[in-house]
Amino acid sequence: MTQHRSIVRRTLCVASVTLGLAGCVTGAFRAPGDRLTDYTAATGAPMTTEQQAVVFETADLKFKVFPKRRRISGDATLVFRATAPVERLVVDLDSRYAIESVSIDGMPRPADTYANPGGRLTVDLPKPLPIGEEATLRIVYNGAPHVAERAPWDGGFVWATAPTGEPWIASAVQGEGCDLFWPCIDHPMGEPGVVTQHITVPDPLVAAGNGVATGMDQHDGWRTWHWRTHDPNTYAIALNIGPYELLRDEYRSRYGNTIALRFWHLRGREDKARELFAEFPVMLDFFESTIGPYPFADEKMGVVETPHLGMEHQTINAYGNDYKKGEFGYDWLLQHEFAHEWFGNQLTNVNWDDMWLHEGFGSYMQPLYAQYLRGDMAYYTQLHGQRVGVLNRHPIVSGKPMLEHEVYEDEIGPGGDIYAKGSVVLHSLRELIGDDAFFEATRRLVYGTGTPRPGNFKPRYAGTDEFIEIVNDVTGEDHRWFFDVYLYSAALPELLATRDDEGLVLQWKTEGDKPFPMPVQVRIGSVDGEVRNVAMAEGRGRLDMPAGALYTLDPHSKVLRALPHVVEYQADRKARAEKAKD
């Protein structure tokens, strides 16, 4: 278990935040004869005892990419430090690759001392590794990576051709994991402390990578690009290769530091690229003023144009939205993936069951950003669009470890609700506890401190339970009831309203009759009527009101609750869509 972060990413969904809807694709898209083992196809399986007993210190990764053959050769040197005695090292690597050699501390290992059944590679050590000691594992391998037929929903490699005719290649492996092309610990908590990449591609192609560029060598018709990054999310290491041109600038942060801005765009698209590039500092200022310092300011804010829609690859976010802007005048895809630098890369969930911390917060950043740019109408428009996408099939959080694909499978997991419902839950939490407490809790979740400054925080892990503890600590009140109903129940709370001779009687109805003392507002009269606050101790409340008076429940849309008209709308939309297919 890595300790570089304090312990306290889609089958994929893409949130169309212009409309506020989340669409999920849950099927597998496999090329004939290109099957993955069940183990490799999954990501987030429980770590072995051996994996839990080591710190993944560094990974030095050499890749040579052969576009015409659609193959790669890899040479990975991994350093592990023991936190308990271990007799073998265990990493994950797709078994489609031919392993040429394995060595420990520079000494070759016989073929009978390692095996890779199903994609879990076990290497016997020459002697047990004591606590505190390090071992260096080197694996040389080659083969044809799994092809993504519909990236990023289907993980793997994309072998495409740029409009100008050159090879255009990308990896996108969130759904299936890092082991699709390099030996790793394919679990959210398996992050290495430092990763260096040496990516060799045919001249004159460019390989844009994670972190900081440390040079480029040319030799015999090839180019090797060198990159270095720290604490990368396991699926964030990415290969992005093409006929790229580079836009460069610097951003002076409100925290006093300078951040490198880099955008690798396809050759011949500079005009559109410059327009998108102009959004970089605006987004940075929003996030830094709203959440806190950009987590990877010592490396860069990097974006690369890809032949797939996009993904949150740390400091080199994949962008394939073809420079589209929504009705609020910004590129939602760029903004959503950039949000994951905070919610996904700086803060990483301890388990896929906590994935809503990535996607719920990431999705809530869209209404907040629209409000920042355009005002309240834009905020509520986007938030309402998300609200009508909430399906409530399963709880957002199950309370048990889950594989990534289980979270996204509608039969057993929340699917797109980790986006849309997660976002509206956060809106309701903010309305309940107030802006000061909400953003203080968010900062503490992301940084481990409420006063983050460049240099006083590191990337970290957290789960849902810790976020609840933080909210309780910040507010001085126990709000577990809020999360029990919104996260750990599938159904939304229903607000029942009945009239008697003296006024209005209100009662919350929840799944499993869970306590839910959520206060509500009621407007008496028409649109300019008086708004009254109703305390709902023990889930009940009443309001004196003249007989026959008009009233509106929750007139300012503060509370996420069951709404029959939304369910009817969703059913009608689904029926019309199915009819259109016939």
* Residue 17 pLDDT greater than 80, yes or no: no
How does residue 417 score in pLDDT terms, banded at 50, 70 and 90?
Answer: very high
**What confidence score (pLDDT) does residue 582 get?**
78
How does residue 448 score in pLDDT terms, banded at 50, 70 and 90?
Answer: very high
The sign of the torsion formed by the CA atoms of 527, 533, 537, 543 equals negative
A 10 A CB-CB count for 481 gives 15
Element holding 509 (H helix, E strand): strand 503-509
**What confidence score (pLDDT) does residue 411 get?**
86
The sign of the torsion formed by the CA atoms of 129, 134, 139, 145 equals positive
How much is the pTM?
A: 0.94
* Residue 408 pLDDT greater than 60, yes or no: yes
Cα angle, residue 463 at apex, residues 460 and 465 outer, rounded to 5° = 135
* Closest to 427 measured CA to CA, from 293, 278, 556: 556
User: What pLDDT digit, counting tens, does each position of 350-387 carry?
Assistant: 999 999 999 999 999 999 999 999 999 999 999 999 99
**What confidence score (pLDDT) does residue 547 get?**
86
Q: What is the mean pLDDT of residues 156-167?
A: 98
How does residue 22 score in pLDDT terms, banded at 50, 70 and 90?
Answer: very low
* Residue 18 pLDDT greater than 50, yes or no: no
**What confidence score (pLDDT) does residue 450 get?**
96
The alpha carbon of 327 is separated from its chain's Cα centroid by a whole number of angstroms, namely 24
* Residue 27 pLDDT greater than 80, yes or no: no
Q: What is the mean pLDDT of residues 152-156?
A: 93
- By CB atoms closer than 10 A (0-12, 13-18, 19+), residue 96 is middle
* Residue 259 pLDDT greater than 80, yes or no: yes
**What confidence score (pLDDT) does residue 34 get?**
72
**What confidence score (pLDDT) does residue 528 get?**
86
Share the mean pLDDT of the chain: 93
Write down the domain spans for the chain. 494-559
For strands 244-252 and 258-266, give the pairing: antiparallel
What share of the chain in percent tops pLDDT 70?
A: 94
User: What pLDDT digit, counting tens, does each position of 116-145 carry?
Assistant: 999 999 999 999 999 999 999 999 999 999
How does residue 410 score in pLDDT terms, banded at 50, 70 and 90?
Answer: confident
563 within 8 A of 570, measured Cβ to Cβ: no
How does residue 21 score in pLDDT terms, banded at 50, 70 and 90?
Answer: very low
How does residue 554 score in pLDDT terms, banded at 50, 70 and 90?
Answer: very high
